[in-house]
Structure 1
């Protein structure tokens, strides 16, 4: 039996309004839970859709946001959906203020810009949920040194900003950041489809087997705009298969809560390409000063 934490990135107005309630209903029907990471500022998805395939931005209306239509303020217009996720027993946390802008600018942004973006998102989270955020997950696994340092300074209990194999304490440029990272360990459905060599059904079949092939706990990242909408039935098949095999589906908070943070290994982080994603993403690197 494996433990699989479900990390749901919520990137857009449509994803929050439509995808989140659909996923909440699906999780409740199958006795599962998950962590929802919300974007709170303007949805500028239309600007991004000019560069991406229709498989990622299938909704015609979404492609107009930030172009022909005003960018809707997600953290104002979708509060009910956000609170529905919280009230269902799922974890809620922070993804970004402006998700499109974060992915485009964060790797090279200066400290002031990073701090302003993270502060806006955290303030809106507190306005909506009445408490300080517990966790942060950088959009697209794109981030920089100052953002990592802020996860510690903001008092977050964990972050999920990278790809990797297991929970760890991050080290960047020799600096230890005392905020644990829970990396995404499994490929995403859209990454498996990116090469154009397999169907959605084949991608699901590969994901069903993946946890058993790799030791340890896992984090699976999905998106409200995909698995909550056009891939909803595919995600349901995946949920059923994992639960049938006895895997425990839980939140990231539950996953890190079961670990002794003091004993987590320290790993350097690196920035590199990953299959199915353009640009540089943060990944878990080598152990930092491992025992000789």
Structure 2
């Protein structure tokens, strides 16, 4: 039926060293590949605590057991403990994913700093952050990234322009309603070349705890959306969640996708399937717009046709 791209956001050192190998083993058992997007600079997860004043943040934290999933040590990074360099301390785990045939790309340099600040930063700050991530990626993998996926679904115009300058052909930096409709950006500075494949399915942490839903209830709700749905989708998971405590529920979700007849793929495979049908010649050129997603705090990049 449909292709469902599996996009793995890797935010922390613990997620890279523990969650990523766990997910790799699970995917191998299913005979599947995914796209892993790595945070490559310092792990400053503890600094995210300043989001406590953002509407909806405390509710999300209480629903998803942040301490249980991330661990006390990770939540102290950048506050009471120095933030470790993820790309240096977990390079072996990253290379193992690449060697296993999964698609690898850039998530960010400093996840917290990017997610909380990039929307209002200038071009110089943005390109410096992105160049750091690019240089570290090349240092680790020895080849350019295949794709990109913004931390926290946050970008700015300079960041999107940089993707074109890098030669990135496809990226997943925003959100959209279920049923994938790829698009290109038409910004004040001009039309961009790369194709955007927004996340279309809700994430586990947006569903768990809502009406007392468990992680397996969350998987079922996602499968309710994809049941008998012929449209392509993008599903974002996190190495810190589905790669650790939520792994059994993610396995149930994968089994469900396959039982429904869907084809879980990498972002690259999804892009090539759209290229092969020449549908990319007809996709919309859209402005950069923002909106809210149910059960997630703050505004995100949102596709609005």
For this structure pair, what is the TM-score category when the shorter chain's length is used for normalisation? over 0.9
Aligned partner of 1:56 among 66, 70, 82: 66
Give a deviation string over 1:40-98, Cα, whole Å, max 9, x none. Answer: 00000112146362623421221111122211100000011101111111100000000
RMSD: 1.6
SS for the counterpart of 2:128 is helix
Aligned partner of 2:199 among 155, 165, 184: 184
Structure with the largest fraction of helix: 2
Aligned partner of 2:147 among 132, 135, 139: 135
Superposition map of 1:74-89 within 5 A: 74-89=86-101
Give the drift of 1:254: 0.7
Give a deviation string over 1:17-42, Cα, whole Å, max 9, x none. Answer: 00000000000011111000000000
Q: 1:192 to 1:169 in 2, by over 3 A?
A: same
Structure with the largest fraction of strand: 1
Structure 1 equivalent of residue 181 of structure 2: 166
Count of aligned positions = 286
Aligned partner of 1:110 among 114, 117, 122: 122
Contact 2:2 2:229 in 1 (8 A): no
SS for the counterpart of 1:186 is coil
1:206 aligns with 2:221: yes
Partners in 2 of 1:28 and 1:267 — Cα distance?
Answer: 37
SS for the counterpart of 1:156 is coil
Contact 1:49 1:57 in 2 (8 A): no
Range with greater deviation from structure 2 (43-52 or 97-106): 43-52
Range with greater deviation from structure 2 (256-265 or 243-252): 256-265
Structure 1 equivalent of residue 15 of structure 2: 15
Q: TM-score, normalised by structure 2?
A: 0.89
1:35 aligns with 2:13: no
Contact 2:103 2:146 in 1 (8 A): no
Contact 2:24 2:97 in 1 (8 A): yes
Range with greater deviation from structure 2 (139-148 or 219-228): 139-148
Contact 2:228 2:260 in 1 (8 A): no
Structure 2 equivalent of residue 123 of structure 1: 135
